[in-house]
Amino acid sequence: MAASVPEGGVCIFCDIVARRAPGHILYEDDTSLAFLDIFPFTRGHLLVIPKRHVDRITDLPETEYAPFLHALAVLCRRVDRLSTHYNVALNQGALAGQIVFHLHFHVIPRYGNANPFGVSPRERLSDEAARSIVADLAEAP
């Protein structure tokens, strides 16, 4: 399914869906896409999005809940290879920290006891690091 155009303009995640913007893509099916977060909190921090442009979980048609959760679970299973400890997060609204208004779940692997969320500014993911993570999180042969 093609992404719908967001109301009133450009959306970076729609651009990644349409391959107008670069993304380190991990997974794609008819309705969902997953790719690495470009400012990761930890190694393997990724985002799972519906291809359809909606801002919020409550805007997603109910018929798309199951495929979206399926994609999330597929990626969580792959993240288990890196760490079986991870946060799944959904920020809704600016006050909750949402900065990209295209619905997305974060999956953030956790390593050791360190809290990764206080780090600011976050370091941009290098292409080299991304290649190594994409290899680790690729679909199992």
- Provide the annotated active-site residues: 104
Sequence-separated (6 or more) residues with CB below 8 Å from residue 113? none
Interaction of residue 36 with Zn ion, rule CB under 5 A? no
Q: Nearer to Zn ion by C-beta: 14 or 33?
A: 14
Stretch that binds Zn ion, among 4-12, 22-30, 65-73, 109-117 (CB under 5 A): 4-12
Does residue 108 contact residue 116 with C-beta atoms inside 8 Å? yes
Does residue 55 contact residue 82 with C-beta atoms inside 8 Å? no
Interaction of residue 11 with Zn ion, rule CB under 5 A? yes
Residue 111 host element (H or E): none
In the bound complex, what is the minimum distance in angstroms from residue 10's beta carbon to Zn ion? Answer: 9
Q: What is the distance, to the nearest Å, from the Cα of residue 87 to the centroid of all Cα atoms in its chain?
A: 12
25 binds, among Zn ion, ligand AMP, none (CB under 5 to 8 A by kind): none
Q: Nearer to Zn ion by C-beta: 78 or 102?
A: 102
37 binds, among Zn ion, ligand AMP, none (CB under 5 to 8 A by kind): ligand AMP
Of the candidates 32, 102, 104, 133, which one interacts with Zn ion according to CB under 5 A?
A: 102
Tokens for 135? 């290899």
Q: How many beta carbons lie within 10 A of that of residue 68, not counting itself?
A: 20
CA dist., res. 127 & res. 29, Å (int): 24
- Using the 8-state DSSP alphabet, how is residue 125 labeled? P
Contacts to Zn ion from residues 14-33, by CB under 5 A: 14
Interaction of residue 45 with Zn ion, rule CB under 5 A? no
Q: Which residues here bind ligand AMP, judged by CB under 6 A?
A: 12, 21, 23, 37-39, 91, 97-100
